[in-house]
Amino acid sequence: MAETLRRVLNLGSAAGPGKNTAEAEPPLLLLGGPGSGKTALLFAAALEAAGEGRGPVLFLTRRPLQSLPRRTGPALEPLRLQKIRFQYPPSTRELLRLLCSAHEARGPAPSLLLLDGLEEYLIEDPGSQEAAYLAALLLDTAVHFSHRAGPGRGCGLIVALQTQEEGDSGNALQLALLQRYFPAQCRLQPDASGPGQCCLRASLEPGGLGPREEWGVTFQPDGEMTITPWPTQAGDTSSHKGSRSGGQP
């Protein structure tokens, strides 16, 4: 689902000719350390997908969001918010139960499946077998929703994972395993920050479906998020624009 995140980072720019649909795009892993704005970007992706006029968005997270990001324009309009369905599985067992029962759910099939805080579920059983099983089940659930939605109306999948400090061999092996299931990735890496700011570099790799793209993401002390093209891409004004919105890093 690199295209959905690309539109978020490009201030909602429409997909150009030949862009992949959710049905064709590979699942995406959103990576970043603590306080890197993963949840804010994940919610922005939910709002973007909710405004596409397709199915609802299913947002899975262990606990309710503390606050909704403040955004300009129509992004927080009630109709978009109504299309985002939040569910809060409190444990790995409950998450697995929810995913396994997806075929029993009634109503329109989701157009996008989001999971925030994958690491919180994996910590209960950090082995590679559990990580592989959960990743495979997430993919199977997205495929099931795609089949329910019908041709040309697939269900995308984005999963946010908190990365750990370098040198942790166990987490490195787990990440390498997950990357087999999620060929597309977006990494949020710390950058030089000003007083009270949290500055990050967002690197989007769409899994072989296009070139790598980068943006600068800055969170102000009040939670407002500013997105600008990374300096090496600043000359491309056709698709990269600055944007401001509110969110919790």
pTM value is: 0.84
pLDDT at 172: 81
Label each residue of 123-138 as H, E or C: CCCCCHHHHHHHHHHH
Per residue in 199-219, pLDDT tens? 889 999 988 778 899 998 888
Considering the four listed CATH numbers 3.65.10.10, 3.40.190.10, 3.40.50.300, 3.90.45.10, the one that applies to the domain covering 2-185 is: 3.40.50.300
Mean pLDDT of the residues in the chain:
81
Distance CA 51, CA 45 (A): 10
Instruction: Encode pLDDT of 42-92 as tens digits.
Output: 998 998 898 887 889 999 999 998 776 655 334 667 888 899 999 999 999
- At 173 the pLDDT is 82
Q: Among candidates 89, 88, 71, which has minimal Cα distance to 80?
A: 71
Residues 6+ apart with CB under 8 A from 95: 60, 89, 121, 134
pLDDT tens digits along 112-148: 999 999 999 998 776 778 899 999 999 999 999 999 8
Greater confidence (135 vs 225) lies with 135
**Residue matched to tokens 């077998």:** 129
Helix (H) or strand (E) holding 196: none
* pLDDT recorded at residue 52: 82
